[in-house]
Amino acid sequence: MQTFGSYVGERLGRRVRPVYFNELRAAKDWMSQGMPRHGILSLSLYLRWRDEHGLRVVAHAERGGKGTGRYHLLVLAKSKLKTLADLASREGACVWSAHLDDARFASRVVFGGQLQVKEVVTAEGETAPGLPGGRVRVVSSTRALSALRRMQQGKPYKGNPVDAVLVDDTSWEGLQQLKRFKGVFRVLYASSPLPTAPVVSFRDVPESESKRLGEVLGGMKSDDEGRKILKTLQATGFAPPQREALAGLVARYEGKEGSK
């Protein structure tokens, strides 16, 4: 990450100090000491913080040369579940994922309104209310592999049942390469293609700086040093903002899709 910061900083003409977080609470604590200028966020967090922090998207991190990705809801291959409606009708149904810590994002964006989340248990163990009419419980956890093992064994995990586990493209592709999981799981539902992680500028950053950052990131795959750094970031490049797609997702997230 420090090499990435040096690369970007040299081209922006200012010091860039990357700080990485995989827990939201830790990120919020750090931000309380002073707002960052830029960040790479999950799509979920971008939608949640967009208005609060005046976020502007300047690029998207590409995976496998693509600026979009899907989420895959996995169940046991032998499961009787055939549709999201089947899952919703199961008493006390529980979905595990490292990508679902926001009921609006889960219900409206990932599941496209086909499955309503009634509550979310965050990675910190706190319970957040879901949407009206919610039917399933979501547990946010970075230990998806452990949840999958428990589902395979037919056992609960940390006191909660494991009816399904939601993973991203990279995780699903990797799971299919593991012999011990060969033929064990199947996809009950796949989301529509969604924009990959957005790179954002925060409210007080000048437009000129945001534009320059987008240019620097977009040029990384065109030089040797940039390509080496991209490999360490597990990215193949950075693409321009998908403004039309993002506008549609904002409307969907806010429950305004189809409204005039």
In tens, the pLDDT along 117-135 reads: 999 998 878 899 999 999 9
Give me the helix-helix angle, 2-12 and 224-232, nearest 10°. 140
Name the CATH superfamily housing domain 2-67+196-253. Answer: Periplasmic binding protein-like II (3.40.190.10)
User: In the predicted model, what is the mean pLDDT of the chain?
Assistant: 94
CATH superfamily membership of 71-190: Periplasmic binding protein-like II (3.40.190.10)
Q: How many CB atoms lie within 10 A of CB 153?
A: 10
And the tokens for 245?
């797609």
Residue range(s) in the chain whose domain bears CATH number 3.40.190.10: 2-67+196-253, 71-190
Determine the residue type at 26: A
**pTM, to two decimals:** 0.92
pLDDT tens digits for 160-204? 999 999 999 999 999 999 999 989 999 999 999 999 999 999 999
Q: Which residues of 12-37 are buried (b: 16+ CB within 10 A; e: fewer)?
A: beeebebeeeeebeebeeebeeeebb
**Closest by CA position to 103, among listed 87, 88, 121:** 121
Checking if the pLDDT of 146 tops 70, the result is: yes
Q: What is the pLDDT of residue 259?
A: 44
Query: What pLDDT, on the 0 to 100 scale, is given for residue 167?
Result: 97
The pLDDT value recorded for residue 35 is 87
Label residue 88 by pLDDT band (50, 70, 90).
very high
* pLDDT tens, residue by residue, 23-77: 888 888 888 888 899 999 999 999 999 999 999 999 999 998 999 999 999 999 9
pLDDT at 258 over 60: no
Judged by average pLDDT, the poorest of 20-24, 103-107, 185-189 is: 20-24
Confidence of residue 260 (pLDDT cuts 50, 70, 90): very low
CB atoms within 10 A of CB 169: 18
